[in-house]
Amino acid sequence: MKPSRVTTQRRLMRLLGTELPVAVILAFALLPWVWMMLSSIRPDAELTHSPIALIPSRLTLIHHIELLRRTNFIWNLRDSLVVASGAVALGLSLALPAAYAFSRFRFRGRGALRTGFLVINMFPVVMLILPLFVLMRELGLLDTYVALIAGHATFTLPFAIWLLTSYLDGIPQELDQAAMIDGATRLQALRLVVLPLALPGVVAVGIYLFITSWNEYLFALMLAGRNVRTVTVALQLFIGENQIQWGLLMAGGALVALPATILFLFAQRRLVGGLTGGAVKG
């Protein structure tokens, strides 16, 4: 059956108004990632050859082998993993009780506190790093995991609290009250009743904390040094004044991108559910 003119116009509008813009955005976002991955397995001769072909003539892992053998990049990956995992643990342990309190209790200064958390995110990171640097220096915590974990959690905590509060607002308070009527404490109601229902939101916040900490550069540069060096700072060492080690830089970038990519792919459904669930109130 021949499609009607109205159906053809709707398909054309959907193609031009939705599908084509989405395809352009995806191409714009994925092309640098694909180029980096292909460049990490491209021979040295092709990295500096002009013009550069999109598809390499042959594949090689020499850059990855040199990166792991000649440099301390494996230890930098360990440092980033420890810092990101610590930031997730500290951020969730602080954000979840705070979000529960904002969602379930009405107390004096509640609105001012929530606004204060939001205002903190409006300040540039440079304004936060200097007081943190002085504080960590006075406490003797510079160049330690504690300094980076505390710094990353400080920067990401306001958004985590806001997102979790919006998500918990969609969970009926009657569930908490029913659990407490049955003899549970407030903490038990949070742990046994609310937390399982809020798991998608918790996963979304955890992924946000991990990726933000994993990719963070300024805190890692200012609060760490020789003993603790994350991958973002380590990658910068491959860029010299007169020469850029493109092979090692692309191989390192590919290794850095893999954990976040794999984490997102495994938790994609929970992440999308958590973000959309926190976008509206029930």
* Amino acid (1-letter code) at residue 251: A
Which residue ranges make up each domain of the chain? 5-40, 63-277
Residue listed under structure tokens 């440079």 = 126
At 29-39, the pLDDT tens digits run 888 888 888 88
Which residue type is seen at 205? V
Angle in degrees, 0-180, between the axes of helices 145-169 and 73-104, rounded to the nearest 10: 40
Q: Between 24 and 243, whose confidence is greater?
A: 24
Q: Which residues, at least 6 apart from 120, have a Cβ–Cβ distance to it below 8 Å?
A: 128, 158
pTM above 0.85? no
Mind listing the pLDDT tens digit for each residue in 229-238? 999 999 988 8
Q: Is 137 helix (H, G, I), strand (E, B) or coil?
A: helix
Residue 5 has pLDDT above 80, yes or no: no
Task: Given CATH 1.10.10.1100, say whether it is the number of domain 63-277.
Answer: no
Highest mean pLDDT among 16-30, 76-90, 117-131, 176-190: 76-90
Structure tokens at 218: 């300024």
Cis peptide before 158 (omega within 30 of 0): no
Binning pLDDT at 50, 70 and 90, where does residue 272 land? low
Dist CA 230 CA 83 (whole Å)? 8
Give whichever of 61-65, 80-84, 182-186 has the largest mean pLDDT. 80-84
Q: Which tens digit of pLDDT belongs to each residue from 164-187? A: 888 888 888 888 888 888 888 888
Other beta carbons within 10 angstroms of residue 172's beta carbon come to 11
